[in-house]
Amino acid sequence: IDERDEDALKELIAGELGRSRDRSLGLTTEVLAAADLTAQVSPLMSPLVWDLAHIGNYEELWLLRAAAGAEPMRPEIDTLYDAFEHPRAERPSLPILPPDEARSYIATVRAKVLDTLPSVRFDTADPLTSGGFVYGMVVQHEHMHDETMLATHQLRKGAPALLDPPAAPLQASGLRAPGEATAADEVLIEAGPFQMGTSDDPWAYDNERPVHLVDLPAYYIDAEPVSNAAYLAFMEAGGYDDPRWWDPAGWEWRTAGGKRAPAFWSREGGQWLRRRFGRTEPVPPGEPVQHVCWYEADAYARWVGKRLPTEAEWEKAARWDPDAERSRRYPWGDAYEEGRANLGQRTLRPSGTGSYASGASAYGVRRLIGDVWEWTSSDFHGYPGFRPFPYREYSEVFFGPDYKVLRGGSWATHPLAVRGSFRNWDYPIRRQIFSGFRCARGVRSAGEEGGA
Ligand code: AVJ
Ligand code: FE
């Protein structure tokens, strides 16, 4: 990139750093008192003030020390904000910075980042700064923690802290009566190779690289995520009582915890209600089911005679353009376009079935990006030729059979923190995240079941 492009990129970066910070403060110091920021609402989550200072500490490590060569500002606090040294459950007992100190620490870091940005060279020969990578990594990191903070807000008891913006008008058309959305439309994806992952997306993470061809047999994939109405049909058919549908470890999870419904659901007077950011409302039939774990998604799929898609199947349906014979960055094309996906916390909920039709992929598969993270059947592994960068603890230490891959982002994910190649992962029992799923199945050919 020449100097003019580099200046334009730096201007964009400065703007995005500002927007991510506005978002972080809007989830913490601007809406909650100090006692709420330091409280731990669940052993699964950090106190919100830990996330806030961790965002700043990560920024100091990568943008001030690594990129700008600055001296540590407060080396004694590094260990407190190292996610690997202290699991979430331990964090409230650490001497972490109180809210006012956390806020002034992150503001000081940010001021220095903006001071040094003009003099940091984006060197095409240095993978850390080439294309502004490390700045993109820090912007994405802040937005990821903002989504984590939203999960903390969802778990909070007490009065609502967040404004509940009205659902986007696009959503209205998608609200269907119970039962109507139970038969999911499917799309046939023909057999053949596609390009999985990326080697040229400047802000892509190590686990999205490198691009490689994957040849898949033909399969069907649901045109939309599984709706609450469809999931309710599974519940009403006794799905939670029938071990036939469940992975043995999932049955263990379901019985040990007495689980009978997605997280945050309750039954009152013959009606299913859900708690959403401190407000209770009837479960909307046309929205994707949310707050289900991998075991619940897997059980529903088996009950309905399907299975979860592999992450390769998910990505081919989302990115492959069979006419151009190339993968797109987003389902609809290479450029992010506002209004084609429910991303970025514009509402505090996923959209209804039929919304965002303009975000469909080349195959006509809808709402792959945004709305709910979608569980896949795949364990989290590195692609062939994977190289950890810039640190092993971003992805590599999580590779193995313990984590399942989620794709596509949720309504709470910022547009910069997701794309068709983006990979998220979590334990199969987790459901405080904004997780849902869609199903897939093999194509019967010459009397044989393929794909599964
Ligand atoms: C990619 C969402 C699994 O939040 O645990 C945050 C991202 N890495 N800080 C997480 C991450 C370092 C990570 N996920
Ligand atoms: Fe982090």
Centre of ligand 2 to C-alpha 428, Å, is 20
Task: State the distance from the centre of ligand 1 to the C-alpha of 116, rounded, in angstroms.
Answer: 26
Q: What is the rounded distance in angstroms from the CA atom of residue 176 to the CA atom of residue 353?
A: 8
- The answer to whether the CB of 207 is under 6 A from ligand 1 is no
CB of 143 closer than 6 angstroms to any ligand 1 atom = no
Query: What is the model's pLDDT at position 177?
Result: 41
Write down the pLDDT at residue 47. Answer: 96
The preferred substitution site among 57, 61, 139, 144 for testing ligand 1, maximizing ligand atoms within 8 Å of CB, is 144
Q: Is the CB of 55 under 6 A from ligand 1?
A: no
Q: Which helix (H) or strand (E) holds 214?
A: strand 212-216
Closest Cα to atom 12 of ligand 1: 394
Mean pLDDT by 10 residues, the chain (452 residues): 87 98 98 96 96 98 98 95 90 92 98 98 97 98 98 96 78 42 77 98 98 98 97 98 98 98 97 97 96 99 98 99 98 97 96 94 98 99 98 98 98 98 98 98 69 44
pTM above 0.90, yes or no: yes
| Ligand in closest contact with the CA of 207 | 1
Q: Whose CA is nearest to atom 9 of ligand 1?
A: 141
423 Cβ below 6 A of ligand 1: no
Q: How many helices (H) and strands (E) does the chain have?
A: 10, 16
Does the Cβ of 144 fall within 6 Å of ligand 1?
yes
pLDDT of 1: 58
Backbone φ, ψ for residue 218 (5° rounding): -65, 150
Q: Residues within the annotated binding site for gamma-L-glutamyl-L-cysteine?
A: 88-91, 426, 430
What does the pLDDT read at residue 201?
97
ipTM: 0.98
The span from the CA of 175 to the CA of 160, in Å, is: 24
Q: Is 292 in the pocket of ligand 1 (CB under 6 A)?
A: no
User: What's the pLDDT at 179?
Assistant: 40
For 296-325, b/e burial (b = at least 16 CB within 10 A) is: bbbbbbbbbebbbbbbbbbbbbbbbbeeee
pLDDT of amino acid 92:
84
Q: What is the pLDDT of residue 221?
A: 98
For residue 423, the ligand 1 atom closest to its alpha carbon is 1
Tell me, what's the pLDDT at 168?
66
At 107, which amino acid appears? A
Look at residue 173 in the predicted model and tell me its pLDDT.
Answer: 41
Q: Please give the DSSP secondary-structure letter assigned to residue 203.
A: T
